[in-house]
Amino acid sequence: MNIKEIIDSNFRGSVYILQDDKVICESVTGFADLANEVPNSIDTRFASASAGKVFVAVGILQLIDQGKIKLDTTLREILDIDLHSIDSGVTVEQLLNHTSGVPDYFDESVMDEYEELWVDYPNYKIRHNNDLLPLFITQPMMYPKGERFQYNNSGYVLLATIIEKVTGMYFDEYLKKSIFDVCDMQSTGYYEFDRLPRKCANSYIYCPETEDYRTNIFSVEVKGTGAGGAFITVKDIISFWQNLLSGKLISKELVSAMLQKQSGDGSDPEEGYYGYGMWIIDNPDGTDFAYFQGCDPGVSFLSEYNGDKNILSVLVSNYGDNVWKEMRKIRECLYK
């Protein structure tokens, strides 16, 4: 079967799938610039929302490989900022696997729209990772550290803060040097909306009241943080996977830990469990599936690795189209 045939004809963005390093699907649709009808291409840089957490996780694991920090290093041991009511005994591992209980600036269990964040705190103020700290640093813990799994954006902001403290570099500069350059991911980076480089797609939100689209430039941070916001290309994501799995970025031991179930209860079998920066889907018949994902207004992203079939899939839409539905079709078609 031609894999392209199973992708919804209304999907806008890019679907890129490799098996045994051979491209078995390359589909690019929709416009990067809707008003000027500039089409998306295989080289288009798409926003990826929370998918950037995986890069922060690898950056942290690199520092562990280098012996500069440990999984059980606590906030009090490494950060010299006022944590207020945040438990200073929270560990790096608890931040990585979302069991820290630190206050989440965007708690998806109580907030519906990411845009709500910027009503009182303009998004153009977010140009560095630490610019997000005022949104949560004075809030109380959500639950005692280590008590349970709850997806947490603030935890990855703190991880990026740790990277900056240990390396003396902005976290995105460190990720460029230690990951993107190593993987030859030349089109991946954290860019400001008012200074976007060439080939960056706008991300579009549909407005039912006017039956047209607006961009998301007032809906998300003006520049990405540890919680997400990298611009990527689908080919760069494939390169990231290949270098990660080969042990070029972190030790094979830490790669294995990253792709193992570390937290969560699997109550939602499609969402699965959590590793370090990765979601893990239980596969009783073989190697568990690992994926990372992102969702912002106008942005949807998912990339998954099937180790038994050696399949790498990347799906991204700059219209917020349903990449999860398309991935289900891909699993049904290719994983059986």
Q: Could you report the per-residue pLDDT of 168-225, keeping only the tens digit for each? A: 999 999 999 999 999 999 999 999 999 999 999 999 999 999 999 999 999 999 999 9
Second-level CATH architecture of 3-334: 3-Layer(aba) Sandwich (3.40)
Q: Which amino acid is at 259?
A: L
CA–CA separation, 241 and 249 (whole Å): 10
Residue bearing tokens 């209860």: 265
- Domain borders along the chain are 3-334
Exposed (0-12), middle (13-18) or buried (19+): which is 285, by Cβ within 10 Å? exposed
Q: Could you report the per-residue pLDDT of 111-125, keeping only the tens digit for each? A: 667 777 777 788 888
Q: In the chain, which stretches have pLDDT less than 50?
A: none
